[in-house]
Amino acid sequence: MTAGHVPLPPRDVHVSVAASSANLGPGFDAVGLALDLRDEVRVGCRPAADPAAPRTSVTVTGMGSQDVPTDERHLVARWVRGGLAGLGAGADLVDLHLDCTNVVPHGRGLGSSAAAVVQGLAAAWALVHGDAEEAGGLSRCEWLVATSSAAEGHGDNAAASVLGGAVLAWSDGTTYRATRLDVAPDLPVVTCVPEEVLMTEVARSLLPATVPHADAAFTGARTGLLVQALRGRAELLLPATEDRIHQQQRAGAMPRSHALMTRLRAEGVAACVSGAGPSVLCLGAPREQVASLAGDGWLVRGHAVGGPAVSSVLGTTSG
Ligand SMILES: Nc1ncnc2c1ncn2[C@@H]1O[C@H](COP(=O)(O)OP(=O)(O)OP(=O)(O)O)[C@@H](O)[C@H]1O
Ligand SMILES: N[C@@H](CCO)C(=O)O
């Protein structure tokens, strides 16, 4: 046994985590909105049959089932072990089995990777601390936000998946934090999801290292306006979703998305690229209007705002 680690009890936990749309136009790497699409995972944790070689197995139903690895390389599984290690719980002393049910599309700008990281970490917390919201002076939510945001390198998607609702995420250079933003309860939220995929890593590589001061000032003011618009000032949504620091710079990698966003905005719809794209997010317009303007080639869905990450202990057994 690894020195200093108490073996975890055999335990099964269930976790459900929402998708998210990041940026909302000007809030690059800072603003996120949880959506009512939820990935779920059931994790079984047992003392390792062979402590020299802990095993990981994964079954996947739904999105990604043909593509993602089903061993220790699986993103959720990696963060179950990463979370156990972070909580000092002897990550290498257990066998893990994950049963994933996915509805969040991958590589479309709906925060699938952040949701996966949050699933893994929330499962680790539940395996170690059960249903406790706080343990040893550590808050579950703060730990989930800080750790998942650090894993992603930005907190917009991750914090929305942890806290639900709309969030503003920031970092002091050491720790990631986030706070909830008010959202009008009747705010229409619509996504237009294309078939094509764009990996976030690729989209981020297109961004310039610096932006002109005037563009930073323009975009910063719009982010403040967005906070007001989200809480019920619907007439501000169109200017509040303008940005000058990432969407134009990435347009070449998602020409259809950029064209759709431009067309929708010309019709007065507050449209922006969702996360790193290529999906398009619309705020304040009914699904039917967006669908008729989008035309063929888009899955147009209306959403409720998503809730926080939920975990529960299904059972703790003796073997
Ligand atoms: N539920 C999951 N299980 C396993 N791997 C996943 C899961 N969700 C996402 N991934 C991995 O993350 C990749 C997608 O991550 P990426 O950051 O490129 O897109 P995204 O998170 O969907 O979009 P965005 O960050 O713009 O919102 C997938 O190709 C897959 O490798
Ligand atoms: N803020 C991030 C979201 C995608 O992970 C980006 O636009 O790159």
Q: Is 115 annotated as a binding residue?
A: yes
Q: What is the reported pLDDT for 5? A: 63
- Tell me, using a 6 A CB cutoff, whether residue 116 lines ligand 1: yes
Is the pTM for the entire model greater than 0.90?
yes
pLDDT along the chain (319 residues), means of 10: 65 98 98 98 95 94 96 98 94 93 98 98 97 96 98 98 98 96 98 97 97 98 98 98 98 98 98 98 98 97 98 79
- The residue type found at 13 is V
Q: Where are the domains of the chain?
A: 11-181+306-316, 189-303
Q: Are strands 310-316 and 27-47 parallel, antiparallel or unpaired?
A: unpaired
Residue with the smallest CA separation from ligand 2 atom 6 is 276
CA 197 to chain centre: 16
Q: Is 106 annotated as a binding residue?
A: yes
Query: Among candidates 32, 51, 241, which has minimal Cα distance to 149?
Result: 32
Q: What is the reported pLDDT for 7? A: 72
Q: What is the reported pLDDT for 4? A: 52
Q: Hey, CA dihedral for 141, 145, 147, 152, is it positive or negative? A: positive
* CATH of 11-181+306-316 given 1.10.3720.10, 3.40.50.620, 1.50.10.100, 3.30.230.10: 3.30.230.10
- Please give the CATH number for the structural domain made up of 189-303: 3.30.70.890
- Tell me, using a 6 A CB cutoff, whether residue 108 lines ligand 2: no
Q: What is the reported pLDDT for 3? A: 44
- Tell me, using a 6 A CB cutoff, whether residue 202 lines ligand 2: no
Instruction: List the beta bridge partners of residue 224.
Output: none
Q: What is the reported pLDDT for 316? A: 78
Q: What is the reported pLDDT for 319? A: 47
Q: What is the reported pLDDT for 200? A: 96
Ligand 1 atom closest to residue 202's alpha carbon, by position in its atom list: 18
Q: Is 107 annotated as a binding residue?
A: yes
pLDDT digits (tens, 9 = 90+) for 203-261: 999 999 999 999 999 999 999 999 999 999 999 999 999 999 999 999 999 999 999 99
ipTM beyond cut 0.90: yes
